[in-house]
Every structure is written in structure tokens, then in C-alpha cells.
């Protein structure tokens, strides 16, 4: 209702202004005489009113269009954000499932293994991983392994991938076993995973675990574990 009243006021103001310019101060008397005694004047006034009405309608539609433009832009931005969030929710996430070893015994095989998996919903492309095992004096930690020469492959969702950081035929020596048992040495497994996500962006996962002699398991270290 207010929209119609405002539009009518605009039209009347435009019409009055044009009439004043054409007929001078006493424009109403001139307008009445011209339109009632001259057919040309009547049709001219009719056409002028139609033109003014169309111009006013166009102006009002333009105002309404500008008012609705901002909500439309905001809706488009929201739709783009939702689409990007959906794509990101489907991205691959590659990380460790477990870093496992049987209890350590002197003179027995020592064959820890690492299992990684793609926890996402799309394949991890050009996935490269390398895990390195070492036994370090207490207080020291190993450097991350080199990954440049690791072969690339696609890792599909829910697929397990196995790695053996120590040589598979390694035998735990008695001196090393006793040093680990007494807390003078610590077995470590560190690794790095790199891959491309569903947008082609580079992602990585860093893994750093150490042997917990009391629990007889590999546990995450305080630092060196990160993912993007």
C-alpha cells in the first residue's frame, strides 16, 4: 500500500512540474482550456500522462530492483560457501591407523609396523609416505625421514597401507633390549605422508612416536605430529 502511494506522489510531482514549465504560473486554467477545446491538446496530454506513468513505473522498479540486489548477492555468496564446504567435507584425510609392535624381548625379532589409511571420501592422489625406525639414547629424537624418493600412488578411501620402519629381519640384541628396559635407550618411529586432495592442493601428515616401556607400546611424542 505504501509503495503505491509513494509511486502516485512521484507521478503527480513530475506531472505538475512539466505542466508548470509548459503553461507558466496559471497552468491549471490553461491546461483545462487546451484539453477541453482542442482534440490535439487532449491527446497530447493523454500521451504525456502515459509517458510519465511509464517513466515513474520504470523508476520505481529500478528502486525495488536495487533493494533486492543485495539479498541476491548475499544468497549467492552463501551458496558458494556451502558448495566449498561440501567439497572440503569430501576431501581425503590420510593418517595412521596404528603403530604396532609386539613386546620387546632380547634375541627375538623386532618388527614394528605402521598402518595408514585414507579416512576421507575421495582418493588421495600422488600419495607418498616414508617411515623410519631408530633406537636413540634417552633424550635424543630422530629427524623426519626423506620423502622425495618415495613412490607416488593413489590411496582410496578405507584402504589400509602397511609400512615396516625397521628391517623385517631385525633381531633385538640383548644389549639394546637391556638399555631400552632400563630407560637408557628409546625406539622411535617417525614418518611423513604427502598427497594431493580433491582440489589438487598439497596435504601432509607428520607422525612421531616413541616406545613407552611401561605400557609396551608406541605412543605419540609431544611434538612432531601434524596434519593439513
Tens of pLDDT, residue by residue over 112-145, are 999 999 999 999 999 999 999 999 999 999 999 9
Provide CB contacts within 8 A for 129, sequence distance 6+: 94, 116, 147, 150, 161, 163, 191, 192, 193, 194
Predicted model pTM: 0.65
- Separation of alpha carbons 189 and 101, rounded Å: 11
Per-residue model confidence (pLDDT) at position 26: 63
Comparing 36 with 224, which gets the higher pLDDT?
A: 224
Q: Count of CB atoms within 10 A of residue 218's CB? A: 23
Q: What does the pLDDT average to over 152-156?
A: 96
Average pLDDT, the chain: 83
Q: What does the pLDDT average to over 97-116?
A: 95
- Separation of alpha carbons 184 and 135, rounded Å: 10
Per-residue model confidence (pLDDT) at position 129: 97
Per-residue model confidence (pLDDT) at position 128: 97
Per-residue model confidence (pLDDT) at position 168: 79
Q: Within a 13 Å sphere around the CA of 184, how many CA atoms are in the beta-carbon half?
A: 6
79-83, 86-90, 113-117, 165-169: which has the minimum mean pLDDT? 79-83
Comparing CA positions, the residue from 118, 78, 126 lying closest to residue 95 is 118
Could you give all domains of the chain from N- to C-terminal order, each with its CATH number? 2-89 (no CATH), 94-227 (2.60.40)
Q: Which three cell numbers stand for residue 93?
A: 584425510
Tens of pLDDT, residue by residue over 9-59, are 555 555 555 555 555 556 556 656 666 666 665 666 667 677 777 777 777
- Percentage of the chain modeled with pLDDT above 90: 58
28-37, 67-76, 90-99: which has the minimum mean pLDDT? 28-37
Amino acid at each position: 500500500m505504501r509503495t503505491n502511494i509513494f509511486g502516485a506522489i512521484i507521478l503527480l510531482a513530475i506531472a505538475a512540474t512539466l505542466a508548470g514549465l509548459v503553461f507558466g504560473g496559471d497552468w491549471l486554467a490553461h491546461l483545462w482550456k487546451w484539453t477541453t477545446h482542442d482534440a490535439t491538446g487532449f491527446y497530447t496530454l493523454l500521451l504525456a500522462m502515459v509517458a510519465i506513468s511509464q517513466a515513474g513505473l520504470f523508476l520505481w522498479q529500478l528502486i525495488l530492483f536495487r533493494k533486492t540486489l543485495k539479498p541476491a548477492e548475499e544468497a549467492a555468496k552463501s551458496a558458494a560457501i556451502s558448495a566449498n564446504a561440501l567439497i572440503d567435507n569430501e576431501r581425503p584425510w590420510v593418517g595412521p591407523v596404528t603403530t604396532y609392535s609386539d613386546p620387546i624381548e632380547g634375541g627375538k625379532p623386532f618388527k614394528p609396523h605402521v598402518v595408514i589409511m585414507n579416512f576421507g571420501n575421495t582418493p588421495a592422489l600422488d600419495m607418498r609416505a616414508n617411515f623410519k625406525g631408530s633406537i636413540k639414547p634417552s633424550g635424543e629424537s630422530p629427524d623426519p625421514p626423506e620423502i622425495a624418493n618415495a613412490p607416488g600412488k593413489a590411496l582410496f578411501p578405507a584402504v589400509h597401507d602397511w609400512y615396516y620402519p625397521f628391517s623385517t629381519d631385525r633381531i633385538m640384541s640383548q644389549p639394546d633390549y637391556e638399555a631400552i628396559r632400563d630407560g637408557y635407550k628409546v625406539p622411535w618411529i617417525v614418518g611423513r605422508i604427502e598427497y594431493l586432495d580433491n582440489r589438487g592442493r598439497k596435504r601432509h601428515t607428520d607422525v612421531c612416536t616413541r616406545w613407552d616401556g611401561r605400557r609396551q607400546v608406541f605412543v605419540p611424542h609431544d611434538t612432531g605430529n601434524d596434519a593439513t
